[in-house]
Structure 1
Amino acid sequence: MPAKVAVSPTEAKSLLVIKFDTKSIHYENYKKLLLDLECEKTFIGVLTEEEADTSLTDLTPDDTQLFDKAKKVVTRTKEVTHAFSDPVLSNQLHAPPPQPTTIRNVYFGNYKVKPWYTSPYPEEYSCSRNLYLCNACLKYMNSDYVLQRHRMKCAWRHPPGDEIYRDQNISMFEVDGQRQPIYCQNLCLLAKMFLQSKILCYDVEPFLFYIMTEYDGTSCKILGYFSKEKRSASNYNVSCILTLPIYQRRGYGAFLIDFSYLLSMAERKLGSPEKPLSDLGLLSYRSYWKKRVAETLLSMRSPVSIENIAQATSMVCDDVISALEALSVLKYDMKKKIYVLHIDKMNLYHVCKKWDEKHPQRVKPAYLRWTPYIGEAKISDLLSKEDILLPLSKSS
């Protein structure tokens, strides 16, 4: 296929002339092809030289000023969003928490709730704007029609566990995460929408769940819950605690905290919640610790020590010290160079009275019917100590 370069005498432009063999099969498609050797400046001849001038896209001072202004707006938006994502700050600012990226509304029973945070529901449900939950078995659906069909067939009237406490219409159920993994996973997914610090949602086997319910004449509706590890190396009596937003500010959170320490007392252990706590959880625990220590100091007789208070309340010494400092009871004696307890009974009485006015729902230890959890390894140890296990017979 011969080719030669020809120079035009009139325009003084170098042209590449490609001549095809007339007998070639490509002759009909490519009779003649001319390439301008200066076409690199004009994007292979698509644009004119004026249109291909890249200097027109250089940033001007006005463009830089506009970019800096937009950057400040985005930074301010992030700061406001972070402030509203905190439940405490959002209440102070009288603004609702920010909407999650996908689910906008959660229909739970007869209530419509706006979630505070994103929960890792399966993709087919998290992509929906509305999420529908059965208030009995906590099964999640993406359609109101499916929910109504489910309610016609759902036979659950209470959580799938043992009822260990009942005071009139208030009950507490203990649910094993290993025996009821689906129910506990659904409960954790629901809690994740209102707890920023909660991480585990599907690994529920190592935990026990204590669910607070209220009997409404037909079924036990869920008010809140807390979970704890079956075997905690740090003696944590609470791993996660939540009162549903539709039942908050009724004293149920304090009831759950008090109940967790009642279980620690039944186990004859000192307990403390797992750290870090959420902002609302930290406020609730500090208030409870102050009341519990103040109540104990009023009932104790001398001598009073931090160890004695810890044994009487089932609280660890660090939490007792925190409560004593908040009550202005623990002070440093400059002369003796030691810490001493200065007890003002009127102040302690005022703290207890204020607590009782805000939290009428109290835990009554006499209504507890519960045995501490004993794992399979513990059972084997107990049986071996009692000589109940028969020794293996030696082969003759």
Structure 2
Amino acid sequence: MAELVNSPLGTRPSLGGTPKRRASMKVLMRNVREVVLGNLCFETWYFSPYPDNIIKGSRAKPTDTAVQNLTTLGGDGIKQDGIVCERLYVCPLCFRYTPDEVNYAQHIMFHQEKQKFGELMPVPDSAEKVYEWDGYVVWEVDGEAEKLYCQNLSLFAKLFLEQKSVFFDTGGFRYYVLTYTAQGSKGRGRGRKRASSGVDEPLFKTQVLGFFSKEDLSWDNNNLACILVFPPYQHRQLGQLLMAVSYKLSGWEWEGGIIGGPEKPLSTMGRKAYLRFWSERIARFFMASIFEKTTKRKTGFAREEMTVKDIGDRTGMLAEDVIAALNDMGICDIKPAKRKQKISGENLDTKVINGHSDAEEFEPAKMVVSRAKVLLWIENHKVDLVAPAREEGFLGEWALSDASDEVEEAEDQSDA
């Protein structure tokens, strides 16, 4: 029987048993105890396939040649508790890494020198802004053009993600990196644990807070493959912001766009986060509908009847995600499908050919959404009626949909 050892993540079996079992257990156990990201020090959660020959060295250099090292993983330098590196220093800009504090400080000074000459960016130079609002910026980074950056970012992310499989083959992905620049704030963040790395505060006026990635070509129309808000910045609704950006980028709001969702299956925490996001998105949609109908009718309405497809089309969500959110919210009842009409023999043949053997056609079931239940759900869950991603913040091609909508509205009004 495996001996149990204590772990910050719970109780885990020690590395006993067969070689095959020991190899599988190495994947489950952390290999880095804590990381220093910029001037923040915090514990890791999961294993990440950092090269052992780099992270267990006492005087290793920052990984300027990490592409070569990343392709030669191996070695059996794992301790009995799984920890190879007690503390790993990770650059908050390029995400290169070293276990040596002195080398880390020298690497940071390199970025500080670039900052003096106005050459410092929080993301690779090739990155493009897709969203900017109130100090928050989302940058699009091409995984093919910036392989080293995306590989290092993925390795860092794996320390906090249980389910992540893409680390090195980043060519078919886009990475959307969230940064924040404090607006006129010179003070240090409260409650942050500083690492003694000789890091000056000006380097962190712009911070990388998290990211999400998506495939360039997804056969399942996934709009997101992986998402992470770094632990020091969690519980600030930043995950909701990244999710909202991912839905905007799927392009469902204009002709030729697609309706998609996150890659499934979701982790337990991922499903919880997405249920909240989907539910809030639906709640905002119905609140906008309430306002619109109240304005036109000069009175409120008690309920709204819509099909799942209608709700999905209006919110840019997959039918399965709409159903999951509505079930979780408990704001509606189901109006059963009813017979539409008896169809003719010719139509019947067509139905049979298409796989429908019923002789009668049915209208789809409708969701009867209660206005009172929507308002109560919003109140109980303290929902901000302002969407996490502001439409005015989208840039470039992503801002074009708003302009086209305004043109269409103007044309409709002129026709009327």
Q: Name the TM-score class by shorter chain.
A: 0.5 to 0.7
Confirm or deny: 8 A CA contact 1:251 1:361 kept in the other structure: no
Identity %: 29
* Corresponding position: 1:261 with 2:247: yes
Counterpart secondary structure, 1:371:
helix
* Count of residue pairs the alignment pairs up: 287
Q: Which of 357, 360, 366 is the aligned partner of 2:392?
A: 366
* Corresponding position: 1:107 with 2:31: no
* Superposition TM-score, scaled by structure 2 size: 0.63
Pairs within 5 Å for 1:114-263: 114-127=43-56, 128-154=85-111, 155=114, 156-160=120-124, 161-216=127-182, 218=202, 219-263=205-249
* Corresponding position: 1:319 with 2:321: yes
| Structure 1 segments (4+ residues) deviating >4 Å | 75-80, 332-338, 353-361
Shift of 1:222: 0.8
Shift of 1:266: 5.0
Q: Deviations over 1:164-210 (max 9, x none)?
A: 21112111100000110000011100110000110111111100011
Shift of 1:334: 6.9
> Gaps (5+ residues) in structure 1?
1-70, 84-98, 373-396
Specify whether residues 103 and 275 from structure 1 end up closer, same or farther in structure 2 by C-alpha distance, changes over 3 A only: same
Over the aligned positions, Cα root-mean-square deviation in angstroms equals 3.0
- How many angstroms apart in 1 are the aligned matches of 2:134 and 2:233? 18
Shift of 1:298: 3.2
Shift of 1:350: 3.0
Q: Which of 376, 386, 396 is the aligned partner of 1:350?
A: 376
* Superposition TM-score, scaled by structure 1 size: 0.66
Which residue identity does 1:147 align to in structure 2?
Y
Specify whether residues 226 and 365 from structure 1 end up closer, same or farther in structure 2 by C-alpha distance, changes over 3 A only: same
Residue 277 (structure 1) aligns with: 266
Residue 407 (structure 2) aligns with: none
Which residue identity does 2:44 align to in structure 1?
P
Specify whether residues 346 and 188 from structure 1 end up closer, same or farther in structure 2 by C-alpha distance, changes over 3 A only: same
> Gaps (5+ residues) in structure 2?
14-27, 57-84, 115-119, 185-201, 294-303, 340-363, 399-416
Shift of 1:335: 9.6
Shift of 1:342: 2.3
Confirm or deny: 8 A CA contact 2:284 2:385 kept in the other structure: no
Q: Which has the higher contact order (CA 8 A, sep 6+)?
A: 2
The structure that has the greater radius of gyration is 1
Shift of 1:327: 2.5
Confirm or deny: 8 A CA contact 1:306 1:320 kept in the other structure: yes
